[in-house]
Amino acid sequence: MRERKGRMDAAADAFVALPGGLGTLEELLEVWVAASLGLHDKPVVVLDPTGAMAGLAELVDKLVAQGFVRPTAASAATWTSSVAEALDAVESGLGRHRPPPAPGDVAEELLEAEP
């Protein structure tokens, strides 16, 4: 499974997630976390036309307010409600996020590790 997702990730220019099941949620969170760690700089966009994923956005906002999630990590994904907004976000690079790793940061260790 991870090998298949790795090939898919490498071939993608951007990631657009629509509401779905647990697998969709897992894949969204995986690419979102990878973006927040600086492991890729591809746009991560959530297209949620019906508000089905609004609870996730609210949860992330609460986690930011409580100090569990950094605002820069939360902003690594862009939330949209229409196909036009999602395409605009992808084309403009919204959701593109590659913070420089801080010294001793997990991302720095991952980026410097030998394959």
**Each residue's pLDDT tens digit, 92-110:** 876 555 444 455 554 444 4
* Chain mean pLDDT for the chain: 85
Determine the pLDDT at residue 9. Answer: 84
Determine the pLDDT at residue 87. Answer: 95
* Amino acid residing at 16: V
Specify whether the CB–CB gap between 19 and 53 falls below 8 A: yes
Tens of pLDDT, residues 65-88? 999 999 999 999 999 999 999 999
Segment holding 80, helix H or strand E? strand 78-80
- C-alpha 47/C-alpha 2 separation (Å) is 24
Determine the pLDDT at residue 3. Answer: 83
Q: Model-level pTM greater than 0.85?
A: no
CA angle 25, 30, 33 (to 5 degrees): 120
Span 3-11, average pLDDT:
84
Determine the pLDDT at residue 115. Answer: 46
Please report which residue ranges of 12-53 form alpha helices under DSSP H: 22-36
Span 39-60, average pLDDT:
95
Specify whether the CB–CB gap between 38 and 106 falls below 8 A: no
Domains of the chain: 2-112 (3.40.50.450)
DSSP annotation of 79: E
